[in-house]
Amino acid sequence: MLLKSREKSFELVQFEALRGRILFSEEQERLYKYVTAGFMGECLCDEMAESMAERVIQLRDLLLASDGRTCQVDSLLVVAGKVYLLEIKNWEGSFEIVDGRFVG
């Protein structure tokens, strides 16, 4: 059961509105690609979760606020009384964990 659908972030909507109208700096272009890849990864995860739609309660792109701070949860799944928080990454390349840190 889907309780909250995913929407593009305000940042991504801004980038898409400006793309083609202005020339992005290298840093803006890098950030645009990073944000776009992240959204695509989240949508891909959503598609994979669709097969469980009848057995799972899904909250996508959940924004939580407390004491003036915000936190985004990419996906929250409730299955058989358990809660799963999913933080989705859509990185390219080879990564390994060295001394508890990702190294690419």
Query: Per the domain annotation, does 9 fall within a domain?
Result: yes
CA-wise closest residue to 31 among 87, 7, 39:
39
Query: Per the domain annotation, does 44 fall within a domain?
Result: yes
pLDDT at position 23:
95
Give the range of the structural domain holding residue 85, as residue numbers without chain letter.
2-90
Express each pLDDT in 66-103 by its tens digit.
999 988 889 988 988 899 998 888 777 787 889 988 78
Beta strands in the chain (DSSP E): 2-4, 57-66, 69-79, 82-86, 96-98, 101-103
Is 0.85 topped by the overall pTM?
no
Query: Per the domain annotation, does 37 fall within a domain?
Result: yes
Q: How many domains does the chain have?
A: 1
Q: Exposed, middle or buried by CB within 10 Å (0-12, 13-18, 19+), for 98?
A: exposed
Express each pLDDT in 2-61 by its tens digit.
777 889 999 999 999 999 899 999 999 999 999 999 999 999 888 888 888 788 888 888
Query: Per the domain annotation, does 69 fall within a domain?
Result: yes
With H, G, I as helix, E, B as strand and everything else as coil, classify residue 60. strand
Query: Per the domain annotation, does 101 fall within a domain?
Result: no
